[in-house]
Amino acid sequence: MTDVSAETEVAERIHAVGIDGTATVFPCAGNDTLLRAGLRAGLEMPYECNSGGCGACAIDVVAGEIDDIWPTAPGLSERQRARGKRLACQCRPRGDCVIKVRLRNEAPPVERPLRHTVTLVGRETLTHDMAEFHFKAAVPARFLPGQYALLDLPGVIGSRAYSMSNLPNDDGIWSFVVKRVPNGNGTAALFDRLAEGSQITLDGPFGMAFLRPDSPRDIVCIAGGSGLSPVLSILRAAAREPKLAGRRLTLYYGGRTPADLCHDKALARDTATAGRIHAVGAISDPEVAEWTGERGFIHEVVKRAVEAGGDPKVFDYYFCGPPMMADAVQRLLMLDWRVPPNQIYYDRFL
């Protein structure tokens, strides 16, 4: 039998985490991760996925003991582990400790992450395997368009990252476009087990791929599959932003077949995006005969369209989607076109 009082005691114990070589110390609860606690304290901790997959949050534990909640997480190689590296997004402190980490040299987003109990209040089907889920918290939903949250789902080990598809709001609504993953634990819980009225824990916001409305450039968004979620939020915000009134907002959205594409439906539901966004849908399955739109992988479609229009370096780019798609777009922007890094914002859905 689980000893609930012992678990609660561990969760509530607050430990001091020092950053080696500095005077910085931040508090971390026994059930929090070093990464999330550092971000809650306003530190520029390095990270991307918050899910154990990318390795961007690697640290050394210089003193003290930690629990590694996913010791085989793919973000570190066996060699790196043997050399003592750990993932801050997968480490919980057992007591006070000291870590070695190189903080990022940029200001963190203004909204610090917070844990909320949220209730599933609605779900809308978008395609045969995608739906938009709506959760409600007791306090306003504060995040930047393009950011993500971590959801703790019933019966699922580890949190899952999902990007908000809506806009920050006072009603406490957090919406996510989610694609069902075959044999996926988190998506099975969301699609099959979570009934309306169920409560879960949501932690957020996280992520650096948020809309920069002060940039003077036109915006190109590129998404595949559920990568539509953050891009919808970015486009919804951009379409409402007075500073971007004269800017061209383009979305390139890719799927395997026409049945996978739901961008027109999603954009048409919002009066601000309807008619304001230049949207290009593309399919990659060459066997599909009934299709008059663009064909090919989405990075190929973007390459053709943007090069035909002139200089690719004149845009800001936001892209999200599965790793293969995100890698191909990243290569196109960074290696082929040499777009400056401060014009490229992305999340890879590991």
Residues 6+ apart with CB under 8 A from 84: 60, 61
* Amino acid (one-letter) located at 218: D
Instruction: Select from 52, 93, 113, 254 the one that contacts ligand FAD (CB under 6 A).
Output: 52
- From the list ligand FAD, ligand FES, none, partner contacted by residue 175 (C-beta under 5 to 8 A by kind): none
Q: Is 55 in the site for ligand FES (CB under 6 A)?
A: yes
Q: Is 349 in the site for ligand FAD (CB under 6 A)?
A: yes
Q: Is 263 in the site for ligand FAD (CB under 6 A)?
A: no
* Amino acid (one-letter) located at 146: G
Q: Name the residue nearer to ligand FES (CB basis): 208 or 334.
A: 208
Residues 85-104 that bind ligand FES (CB under 6 A): 87, 89
Q: Is 208 in the site for ligand FAD (CB under 6 A)?
A: no
Q: Which window, 42-50, 141-149, 169-177, 205-213, contacts ligand FES (CB under 6 A)?
A: 42-50
- Residue 340 preceded by cis peptide, ω within 30: no
Instruction: Select from 27, 46, 109, 184 the one that contacts ligand FAD (CB under 6 A).
Output: 184
Q: Is 49 in the site for ligand FES (CB under 6 A)?
A: yes
Q: Which window, 50-58, 160-168, 258-266, 325-333, contacts ligand FES (CB under 6 A)?
A: 50-58
Q: Is 132 in the site for ligand FAD (CB under 6 A)?
A: no
Q: Which of 147, 141, 297, 269 is nearest to 209 (CA)?
A: 147
- From the list ligand FES, ligand FAD, none, partner contacted by residue 55 (C-beta under 5 to 8 A by kind): ligand FES
Q: Is 130 in the site for ligand FES (CB under 6 A)?
A: no
The number of CA neighbours under 13 Å toward the Cβ of 234 is: 31
Q: Which window, 49-57, 171-179, 208-216, 309-317, contacts ligand FES (CB under 6 A)?
A: 49-57
Q: In angstroms, rounded to a whole number, what is the distance separating the alpha carbons of residues 5 and 67?
A: 19
Q: Is 56 in the site for ligand FES (CB under 6 A)?
A: yes
In Å, how far are 18, 107, 155, 248, 288 from 230, measured between CA atoms? 34, 21, 26, 18, 28
Q: In angstroms, rounded to a whole number, what is the distance separating the alpha carbons of residues 345 and 296?
A: 23
Q: Which window, 52-60, 138-146, 262-270, 328-336, contacts ligand FES (CB under 6 A)?
A: 52-60
In Å, how far are 55, 138, 199, 225 from 229, measured between CA atoms? 23, 23, 22, 9
Q: Is 347 in the site for ligand FES (CB under 6 A)?
A: no
- From the list ligand FES, ligand FAD, none, partner contacted by residue 326 (C-beta under 5 to 8 A by kind): none
Instruction: Select from 160, 247, 263, 303 the one that contacts ligand FAD (CB under 6 A).
Output: 160
Instruction: Select from 75, 205, 225, 254 the one that contacts ligand FES (CB under 6 A).
Output: 75
Residues 193-222 that bind ligand FES (CB under 6 A): none
Q: What are phi and psi of 298, to 5 degrees?
A: -65, -30
Q: What are phi and psi of 227, to 5 degrees?
A: -60, -15
Token pair listed for 146: 């393009």
Instruction: Select from 30, 38, 53, 281 the one that contacts ligand FES (CB under 6 A).
Output: 53
Q: Which window, 5-13, 135-143, 157-165, 216-224, contacts ligand FAD (CB under 6 A)?
A: 157-165
* Amino acid (one-letter) located at 315: F
- Residue 165 carries which DSSP code? -
Would you list the DSSP string of 83-143?
TTEEEGGGEEESS-EEEE----SSPPPSS--EEEEEEEEEEEE-SSSEEEEEEE-SS-B--
Q: Name the residue nearer to ligand FES (CB basis): 57 or 153.
A: 57
Binding-site size for ligand FES (CB under 6 A) equals 13
Instruction: Select from 26, 143, 162, 315 the one that contacts ligand FAD (CB under 6 A).
Output: 162
Q: In angstroms, rounded to a whole number, what is the distance separating the alpha carbons of residues 72 and 313?
A: 40
Q: In angstroms, rounded to a whole number, what is the distance separating the alpha carbons of residues 113 and 60?
A: 23
Residues 6+ apart with CB under 8 A from 305: 252, 280, 294
Binding site for ligand FAD (CB under 6 A): 49, 51-53, 70, 148, 157-158, 160-163, 176-179, 181, 184-187, 207, 226, 229, 347, 349-350
